[in-house]
Amino acid sequence: MGCPLPFEGMSYRFNEVNKVKEDLRSVDYLADDGIAGIVYLADRLQKPILVEGPAGTGKTQLAKSVAEMTGSR
């Protein structure tokens, strides 16, 4: 009898990084591979994303776009 994997049975929103890019594009956010990869990994690991940077660099827009494409608040 094996030990269950920690993520066994969990459902994910995205199957691949390109799907994240497409979904972000559908809500008018143009993500590069790095941003899409981070969103993908956050979904897979069920962890939040910490975004930092100067004002006007798109932190809030990223959060709003991810919320919109996932049907979150």
pLDDT digits (tens, 9 = 90+) for 18-60: 999 999 999 999 999 999 999 999 999 999 999 999 999 999 9
pLDDT value of residue 8: 53
In this structure, is residue 66 part of a structural domain?
yes
Range of the domain at 62: 17-70
User: Whole-angstrom Cα distance, residue 48 to residue 61?
Assistant: 16
In this structure, is residue 1 part of a structural domain?
no
In this structure, is residue 58 part of a structural domain?
yes
In this structure, is residue 6 part of a structural domain?
no
CB 67 within 8 A of CB 73: yes
Phi, psi for residue 28 in degrees, rounded to 5 = 65, 35
pTM: 0.79
More confident residue, 43 or 72: 43
In this structure, is residue 4 part of a structural domain?
no
- Structural domains of the chain, count: 1
In this structure, is residue 46 part of a structural domain?
yes
In this structure, is residue 9 part of a structural domain?
no
In this structure, is residue 12 part of a structural domain?
no
